[in-house]
């Protein structure tokens, strides 16, 4: 095992996949000479050369499109969005070009690409460097959506995403990049975390907390605090948002009968709404209380600290919601 940061886990996963498969290449802004705005591709240019580590112009559409076109003829491109917010520029490529390609080629042309980049708030990034718009792609057929919370998952999920034959949008929470450390397997172990499988990060009996990304850490902190009050949280880290692992959710719900969904993205039309709807449709009789959600307010992520704190979810909010749910 290697003890690494969240960022280093992602870096190693990409590096090792590029070592393993000459068809894998990476393209993005400032990723070559500079090694990436956050340093995910540090050392890549020297090792893999400018054809496989491509310093692109500021052209998110072209960055994703190059991966799509190359994928159509057998390559595996990784597109770095310097901030995942900028994926809005490449929306057509992800949704209408990459997402549909397999379908409109009669199943003949898979598009194995990973569009990845730093997401999320809590760092004063303001409107365009803080977003979590994973729901856009959650809503899109043909696309998978991944967001890990721990180094081992980031490592195994990135490898799986690169090897997957479908377009994957991979959210890397920038708050976790250097704050979170953990063990990851050695390179020779060829460790993969299959897409579409959630992981229970803490076992508990009273409430199922369904979450992902940075909120997993918030939920775990809330669980610790509530333990002292005798409220036991089971924390499910979804890891992959699409496809969604409803089996793990159902299994936990059967035990707890109470569900709290937590996400950093705005509440309206978020992933939580879909999970809630599916639970209501299929597992209504198992519930002892209404499904609750803690999410960002339906606003943008503002700059000033009191504003950002007000909009984004907090550990306190999770604690309060869980108390309310436990008391119902």
Partner 1 sequence: MSTTTLLRDGQQVSAYHEQLTKQDLLEIYRRLWFARLFDEALYDAKKKGRLRRGNVYGSRGQEAIMVGTTYPLHEDDFVSPIHRDMPVFVFRGMRLEEVMCQIWGKAEAPTRGKDSWSHMGDISKGIIHSTSMLGSTIAVACGVLWAQRLDGRRDRVLVAYTGEGATATGPFHEGLNFAAVHKLPLIVVVENNQYAYSTPVELEVPTKTVAERALGYGIPGYSIDGNDVLEVYDTMCAALEHARAGNGPVLIECVTYRLQGHADHDETRARQYRPVEEIELWEQRDPIPRFRNYLLNTGQFTEAELPEPPRDLVEQIQRAIEYAINSPDPEPHTALEDIYDESAGVSRCVK
User: Catalytic residue numbers?
Assistant: 129
Out of 47, 104, 178, 282, the only residue in the binding site for partner 1 (CB under 8 A) is 104
Out of 2, 5, 88, 100, the only residue in the binding site for partner 1 (CB under 8 A) is 100
Q: Which stretch binds partner 1 (CB under 8 A): 11-19, 69-77, 261-269, 291-299?
A: 69-77
Q: Is 20 exposed, middle or buried (0-12, 13-18, 19+ CB in 10 A)?
A: middle
Name residue 4's beta-bridge partners.
Answer: 182
Total number of residues shown for the chain: 328
Half-sphere exposure (Cβ direction) of 81: Cα atoms closer than 13 Å: 32
Which of the residues 105 through 134 are near partner 1 (CB under 8 A)? 105-110, 112
37 near partner 1, rule: CB under 8 A: no
62 near partner 1, rule: CB under 8 A: yes
Element (H, E) at 17: helix 6-20
- Closest contact distance (angstroms) between CB of 159 and partner 1 is 8
- Closest contact distance (angstroms) between CB of 213 and partner 1 is 20
- Closest contact distance (angstroms) between CB of 56 and partner 1 is 7
Element (H, E) at 79: strand 76-80
75 near partner 1, rule: CB under 8 A: yes
Secondary structure of residue 9 in the 3-state scheme: helix
Q: How far apart are CA 100 and CA 110, in angstroms?
A: 10
33 near partner 1, rule: CB under 8 A: no
Q: 240 near 146, Cβ under 8 Å?
A: yes
185 near partner 1, rule: CB under 8 A: no
Q: 262 near 219, Cβ under 8 Å?
A: yes
44 near partner 1, rule: CB under 8 A: no
Q: Are strands 76-80 and 292-296 parallel, antiparallel or unpaired?
A: unpaired
21 near partner 1, rule: CB under 8 A: no
Residues 287-326 vs partner 1: string with x where CB under 8 A?
Answer: ----------------------------------------
Number of residues that bind partner 1 (CB under 8 A): 55
- Closest contact distance (angstroms) between CB of 52 and partner 1 is 7
N- to C-terminal Cα separation, the chain: 44
Nearer to partner 1, 73 or 327 (CB): 73
Q: Is 132 exposed, middle or buried (0-12, 13-18, 19+ CB in 10 A)?
A: buried
Helix residue ranges per DSSP H, 26-119: 44-48, 60-72, 91-92, 99-104
Q: How far apart are CA 159 and CA 76, in angstroms?
A: 12
Q: Which stretch binds partner 1 (CB under 8 A): 116-124, 190-198, 275-283, 290-298?
A: 190-198
Name residue 3's beta-bridge partners.
Answer: 183
13 near partner 1, rule: CB under 8 A: no
Which of the residues 152 through 181 are near partner 1 (CB under 8 A)? 160, 163-166
| Contact residues: partner 1, CB under 8 A | 22-23, 25, 51-52, 54, 56-57, 59, 61-62, 65-75, 77, 89, 92-93, 96-97, 100-110, 112, 141-142, 144, 160, 163-166, 192, 194-197, 243, 245
């Amino acid at each position: 095992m290697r003890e690494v940061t969240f960022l280093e886990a992602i870096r190693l996963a990409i590096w090792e996949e590029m070592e393993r498969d000459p068809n894998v290449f990476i393209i993005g802004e400032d990723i070559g000479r500079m090694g990436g705005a956050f340093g995910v591709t540090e050392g890549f240019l020297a090792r893999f050369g400018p054809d496989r580590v491509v310093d692109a112009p500021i052209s998110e559409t072209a960055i994703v499109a190059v991966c799509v076109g190359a994928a159509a003829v057998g390559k595996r491109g990784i597109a770095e969005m310097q901030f995942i917010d900028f994926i809005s520029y490449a929306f057509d490529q992800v949704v209408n070009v990459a997402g549909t390609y397999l379908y409109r080629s009669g199943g003949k042309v898979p598009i194995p690409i990973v569009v990845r980049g730093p997401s999320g708030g809590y760092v004063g990034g303001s409107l365009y460097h803080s977003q979590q718009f994973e729901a856009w792609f959650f809503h899109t057929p043909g696309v998978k959506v991944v967001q890990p919370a721990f180094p081992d998952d980031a490592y195994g999920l990135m490898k799986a995403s690169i090897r997957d034959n479908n377009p994957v949008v991979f959210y890397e929470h920038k708050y976790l990049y250097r704050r979170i450390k953990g063990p990851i397997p050695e390179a020779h172990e060829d460790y993969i975390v299959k897409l579409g499988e959630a992981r229970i990060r803490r076992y508990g009996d009273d409430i199922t907390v369904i979450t992902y990304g940075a909120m997993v850490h918030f939920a775990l902190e809330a669980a610790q605090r509530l333990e002292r009050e005798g409220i036991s949280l089971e924390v499910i880290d979804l890891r992959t948002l699409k496809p969604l692992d409803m089996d793990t959710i159902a299994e936990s719900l059967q035990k707890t009968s109470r569900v709290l969904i937590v996400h950093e993205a705005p509440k309206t039309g978020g992933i939580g709404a879909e999970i809630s709807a599916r639970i209501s449709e299929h597992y209504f009789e198992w519930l002892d209380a209404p499904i609750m959600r803690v999410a960002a307010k339906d606003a943008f992520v503002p700059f000033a600290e009191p504003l950002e704190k007000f909009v984004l979810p907090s550990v306190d909010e999770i604690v309060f919601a869980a108390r309310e749910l436990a008391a119902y």
